[in-house]
Amino acid sequence: MADVIDLSKIEAGKMELQPVTFDIAAVVREVAESNQPLAAKNGTGIRVACEPAILYSDRVRIRQCLFNVVGNACKFTHQGRVLVEAHPERGSNGAWYLVRVVDTGIGIRPEDLDKLFCYFTQLDASSTRKHGGTGLGLAISRRLCRLMGGDITVESAPGKGSTFTLRLPAGVSDGIDIGS
């Protein structure tokens, strides 16, 4: 139900972000830990490699995006691994924080990659029956990331797993350092 409400707010242009200063590494670890039971059920290990950083952004929405991506990695990986790695990145276009979620799961066919971020889209009806889901999580997560000035991208191949990358603006305010 919350996904449908978020979808409605996003589409109506009424989604209000609530930026705060927070430790992104703590959020990444919290999300990984909360997905541990699902990973364990599927015989999958989760490893976190996260550089600390303080961000100024919407903590709740970033957590929501991470929860969707890490949860999907755990859902579609059996007897495998999920790695959540995160680090600051500085470039000519500003300060960013990258979170990569790499899994050894079922992977995604090239022709299906664009469909991942469409509302109510399930790539495989049999997966939907087996794993559940509404087809909203990734679509909403991408739109939330873009509202915050970032994005989510994916690289994948069938049988070889997937890598989802969340690129988040550091939202650095004066005196706040995203790390080295």
In tens, the pLDDT along 158-167 reads 999 999 999 9
- Nearest to 76, CA basis, from 48, 105, 36, 118: 105
Confidence of residue 4 (pLDDT cuts 50, 70, 90): very low
- Distance separating the N- and C-terminal Cα atoms of the chain: 40
Confidence of residue 93 (pLDDT cuts 50, 70, 90): confident
Q: Which residue has the tokens 């650095």?
A: 172
How high is the pLDDT of residue 119? 67
- Distance (Å, rounded) from C-alpha 169 to C-alpha 149? 6
Res 172 pLDDT > 90: no
Q: Which two tokens stand for residue 175?
A: 């005196």
Mean pLDDT, the chain, rounded, equals 83
CA 91 from centre of chain: 22
- Distance (Å, rounded) from C-alpha 10 to C-alpha 2? 12
How high is the pLDDT of residue 116? 84
116 backbone dihedrals φ, ψ, rounded to 5°: -55, -35
Q: Which residue did the predictor score with more confidence, 172 or 44?
A: 44
Res 87 pLDDT > 90: yes
In tens, the pLDDT along 50-85 reads 998 999 999 999 999 999 999 999 999 999 999 999
- Ramachandran region, residue 175 (left: φ > 0; alpha: ψ -120 to 50; beta: rest): left
Res 174 pLDDT > 60: no
How high is the pLDDT of residue 177? 47
In tens, the pLDDT along 16-41 reads 889 999 999 999 999 999 999 999 99
In tens, the pLDDT along 112-140 reads 888 888 765 555 544 444 545 556 789 99
